[in-house]
Chains A and B, each alone.
Chain A
Amino acid sequence: ELKVEQNPLFLSMQEGKNYTIYCNYSTTSDRLYWYRQDPGKSLESLFVLLSNGAVKQEGRLMASLDTKARLSTLHITAAVHDLSATYFCAVEKLVFGKGTKLTVNP
């Protein structure tokens, strides 16, 4: 059974700081997705990573995929309050992790 683990599950950080969210998965996969969810809202697609070594960046967020290590990272650079949300990774046929609730404090 495919398992997806994210850590940390909760992250409180200050504006301007950098941090990384980790996503580990249990079986071989060559595709990984990152989504964002705001409270009471649906999921918004952020990144689709389709090969080993894939790196994608959008604004202050950068995602990478290491299929050999079965690991993806979502790096946040110089966080701003607007990034506060829950971030999910998903693997294969969209098996989701539990999410990382990010709070960016002034």
Chain B
Amino acid sequence: AQTVTQSQPEMSVQEAETVTLSCTYDTSENNYYLFWYKQPPSRQMILVIRQEAYKQQNATENRFSVNFQKAAKSFSLKISDSQLGDTAMYFCAFMKRYSGGGADGLTFGKGTHLIIQP
């Protein structure tokens, strides 16, 4: 079984600042995916970014980027030029990768509540 740990229950930064959310995980699997999901007050779960473990290059999506350290089992999310709309709960998640069809469910961390101050 795998575990996902987010050690920052809450963070608060000023608008336009850069913020980094931390995530560590524990697994014996070698082939897997890591994700960051965002859950705003509407409680919709929104995909932010995805990383495949076999890829050494860190994923980026506009203002969002990750620092994936496979050996250290670390997967942090950096948000640049933060905006008020980034205020949300952020969940780090792990999923075992299958080469064929079918897939396991996501294992989530407890989440980090990010507040962007005007």
Chain B binds chain A = no
